[in-house]
Amino acid sequence: MTDAVNRRTFLNQTAISGAAVGALAAATPALAAKSASDKVVVGVMGMSRGRSLATGFTQQSGCEVKYVCDVDPQRAGTAADAVEKAGGKAQAIGDFRKILDDPGVDALVCAAPNHWHAPATIMACAAGKHVYVEKPCSHNAREGELMVQAARKHNRAVQMGTQRRSSPGIVEGIEKVREGAIGRVYCARSRYSSARGETGRTMPAEIPAGLDYELWQGPAPRVPYATNRVHYKWHWFWHWGNGELGNNGVHYLDVCRWGMDVDYPIRVTSTGGRYVFNDDQQTPDTSTVALEFDDKKLITWDGLSCSRHNKNAFVTFFGDKGSLEIKSGGGYTQYDVKDKVVKDVKSNRGDAEHILNFLTAIRNDTPLALNAEIAEGHKSTLLCHLGNIAQRTGRALTCRRADGHIVGDEKAMELWSRDYEPGWEPVV
Ligand SMILES: NC(=O)c1ccc[n+]([C@@H]2O[C@H](COP(=O)([O-])OP(=O)(O)OC[C@H]3O[C@@H](n4cnc5c(N)ncnc54)[C@H](O)[C@@H]3O)[C@@H](O)[C@H]2O)c1
């Protein structure tokens, strides 16, 4: 029997749930490498963004989506139909622990709300699964650190869903920036615009028929069901979401950090708030986040959730010999020092390439050969968490160069982590 078969048999005999998984997986040998032609079997959790990921994985050759999972059975059902239309056959289920318990599954794809990302990833790594986890990789800063530890401890491939890291045209543009095509790069500015409406007032309400609200909440401390959260609007409440900065800003800050070749900031500020509507939304619709790094480097994010103007703006790098704009949909435009276009490249956003990169790392048993490996995903997500902490405290944060921890501000550091529903605390 191979190690893989041994391990699968062992896991099969042992139902997996919660923290017990950590001890179990620690005692088992590593999975054997798959060959390049091996089929990769995945289960996908969270069927909104997850539905398009499920069809995207189905369309990759040598990949089977065995489960589509949602605590809302209607969403699980329509996702199973979508997978079938894409040429696959997936079972619709409501509890993702079935995916972890199935020894035939290689990877979990997590596109549930943000409060689920780290706990589900850590449980999946401990159960021997590789993980494709949507951005932002974590709900809070400490969770990102734990995710990196879990990936290393169990030697799993953990990819964050910042697909532009795999867009051929964006990769080329970033290479230009990093190779000095626009000279010494001292600034990256990014700008997000959307036309979101009012979030409205949160009212007590009955749990909709069929929805497993208990499992929707999972790791988050219990709150009675109310309007304005399920689905999607949880993004605008700190208990589950990370506002526009964690929702869209993470794509922008990830590209800025990648091009600038920086890790952790030394100073972070955020201005703005909920300016356009007066309702129960907690997170800003208008904000400017500034992150300063060593060696005179600055990254900014301008978030405008309620204005369509300049909606195609994305990321611009400024160097002492020119500038370079990255396009949100892929590609770039390079300008010389007189602001004349030198080169214009069109590309795609990288969705299919990002999935293929993940599958290749699994097949080759090269868990670190990922375009958005979790250590990098954590660093980019941390920029959002720090921006949000600066926003919520109303203070400028000073951060430690080595790991981004906030220094000299205990109140701000209280937002570094969160409380958990008992029994759901992530354990590595
Ligand atoms: N990479 C991208 O371009 C991209 C695009 C959109 C969304 N996302 C990310 O995807 C995630 C989901 O966002 P969304 O907009 O689809 O939110 P959403 O609220 O519309 O959908 C989340 C789904 O997850 C389900 N869910 C909640 N708990 C679950 C559980 N325990 N098991 C299974 N399903 C569960 C919900 O019922 C819901 O159907 C977010 O983290 C978001 O940032 C990424």
| Ligand 1 pocket list (CB less than 6 A) | 45-49, 69-72, 75, 96, 111-114, 116, 134-135, 161, 163, 215-216, 218, 231-232, 247
> What pLDDT, on the 0 to 100 scale, is given for residue 26?
38
Pocket probe for ligand 1: among 49, 147, 228, the residue whose CB has the most ligand atoms within 8 Å is: 49
CA–centroid distance, 218 to ligand 1, in Å, is 14
**pLDDT digit string, tens, across residues 174-189:** 999 999 999 999 999 9
User: What is the average per-residue pLDDT within 319-326?
Assistant: 98
| pLDDT band, very low/low/confident/very high, at 311 (cuts 50, 70, 90) | confident
Best CA proximity match to 404, nearest among 374, 383, 425 = 383
CATH of domain 3-164+356-373: 3.40.50.720
User: What is the average per-residue pLDDT within 346-364?
Assistant: 98
CA–centroid distance, 2 to ligand 1, in Å, is 36
Q: Using alpha carbons, list the distances in angstroms from residue 316 to 82, 301, 323, 326.
A: 37, 11, 7, 6
CA–centroid distance, 48 to ligand 1, in Å, is 6
Which residue's alpha carbon is nearest to atom 24 within ligand 1?
46
**pLDDT digit string, tens, across residues 267-284:** 999 999 999 999 999 999
What ranges do the domains of the chain cover? 3-164+356-373, 168-202+212-350+379-413
Which residue's alpha carbon is nearest to atom 17 within ligand 1?
232
**pLDDT digit string, tens, across residues 413-427:** 999 999 999 999 999
Best CA proximity match to 387, nearest among 320, 314, 288, 317 = 288
CA–centroid distance, 235 to ligand 1, in Å, is 10
User: What is the average per-residue pLDDT within 210-220?
Assistant: 98
User: What global pTM score does this model have?
Assistant: 0.93
Which residue's alpha carbon is nearest to atom 21 within ligand 1?
48
Residue with tokens 């869209």: 248
Give the CATH fold of the 168-202+212-350+379-413 domain.
Dihydrodipicolinate Reductase; domain 2 (3.30.360)
